[in-house]
Amino acid sequence: MDGELIETLTYQTIPDSPLRDYTKEGRITNCKVIASYNWLQEDGTIGVPGSGPPLFPFFLLKIVILDLDAERDLLSRVIQTGIPPKWTPAVNAQKIPNDRGIYFRDLNAAKWPRFPIEPAVRSIIQCNPSFDKRSIDIVCCGSTLGTLLQFCANYESWSKPATMELEVIGDTLFITRREKYARETIRGVKGYGHNFLEAYTTWPEEAKGSISHQRIINYQFAGLNIALRYEVDAAFGDAGSEKSGVKESRPKEGSKTKSVTEDIVSLLGGMDMPYSARQAPSSNENHRESDSRALRIKSMGSSLDQGKQADIETRATYNEVNMTEFAPRLWLRQIPCLIVAKHEAGTFDPDNISVQDLKKVTSEWEDENQELTMKLARLLYWLIDVAEEWEGSKIRLEITSTGNLEIRKRGAMGPRSVLPDDLKKEWCS
């Protein structure tokens, strides 16, 4: 049941919220990796780098939540230290089968339904014990921020409504994605993207059993201090080096970026690669507050610098690729490289696979879209104001099928919080 309506916006009525420093441009600066983790094949398991230098030994942390039914069905949830899969392309042409099976919309929710953002927050605390958590204005994921950017760009053909929960914890606004069901799946999956990833990337030995690499970065955007979680498809040698095979890519002479609206469409279309039921948790999605769930954190290797990561896109050979269409997605995540793999009916030839350095493309996109990025900044400042005004109340953000943005009170049966109580206290400390 819909909660009480508090506010309604369209992309045209975003308030000119007072910015902390209105001279700030809508640019991302000072980006750094602050944490990472891998979801493991085993039910609910992640791994996180410990404190100290990147190559320091890591340690095991186990957080236990009391369970009234402890004798029954005790499940360990583990986070493995963040190591992405390596880019290991085939030498010869490869025939890849169509993607089939069940794919989750949100892997973090499917693996940890009660508090999908908890693993990211735990990993920040684990990886950076001295990190100034109270300096963070917003914690969110690439999907939620991409959806808000898309709203600002006035993309009217929303395929499905988007829902986010808003909660102020300490001095930070948490914006968390919320599907109707934690293990909601994507219907009508087509293409080869998932199977291509499995065939052309390899988990390092110390990361065996992983199914997803999640990374948390911290950057400044228009005066806001943002912590953003997203998924990394692959990693290779030093970005930009001849060894990695990365080539700098720029728009062709005379080829202008497609309309801002068309560029932003890609943000929701493939925001995070969905994972199949073969890699999904087997537990029931309806976790109670008293459920026995221990978020276990295993050690696994070292962290990776931001320059060695890449996003992967598969396309049929007849589909022309304009590199600028990927700029919004890569800009939000500060991913420098894109691997574009073209195929003919699922056959991928090495000559049709390229690794492109898109740093210049995303920088030029940022220059050309200051009006849009500042609109996003004003929206984020407005959301902070609304959430602080309703602090203590459960509120959510909905983007409707008509493209309106609504702020509503959450229903009485809605989630109690985006984080467990102990973690909320630690975040505020």
Query: For 187-196, how does the pLDDT look when each residue is reduced to its tens digit (9 = 90+)?
Result: 767 789 889 9
**Exposed/middle/buried for 371, CB within 10 Å: 0-12, 13-18, 19+?**
exposed
Neighbouring residues of 425: CB distance < 8 A, sequence distance ≥ 6: none
DSSP state of 22: T
DSSP state of 243: T
- Looking at residue 185, its pLDDT comes to 62
**Exposed/middle/buried for 109, CB within 10 Å: 0-12, 13-18, 19+?**
buried
d(CA 311, CA 336): 8
Structure tokens at 132: 């100034």
pLDDT digits (tens, 9 = 90+) for 363-420: 999 999 999 999 999 999 999 999 999 877 779 999 988 889 999 988 665 657 899 9
Distance of CA 402 to the CA centre of its chain: 25
- Average pLDDT of the segment spanning 32-47: 79
- Looking at residue 45, its pLDDT comes to 62
Report DSSP letters for 114-171, one per residue: S-TTHHHHHHHHHH-TT--GGG-SEEEEHHHHHHHHHHHTT----SS-EEEEEEEETT
pLDDT digits (tens, 9 = 90+) for 326-371: 999 999 999 999 999 999 999 999 999 999 999 999 999 999 999 9
List the beta bridge partners of residue 33: 217
Closest CA to 245 of 133, 355, 403: 355
- Looking at residue 344, its pLDDT comes to 96
d(CA 84, CA 233): 7
d(CA 349, CA 58): 40
**Exposed/middle/buried for 358, CB within 10 Å: 0-12, 13-18, 19+?**
buried
Report DSSP letters for 176-206, one per residue: EE--SSTT-B-SS--SSHHHHHHHHEE--GG
d(CA 103, CA 271): 13
- Looking at residue 423, its pLDDT comes to 93
d(CA 335, CA 353): 18
What does DSSP say about strands 337-344 and 309-316: parallel, antiparallel, or unpaired?
parallel
d(CA 371, CA 152): 10
pLDDT at 87 over 90: yes
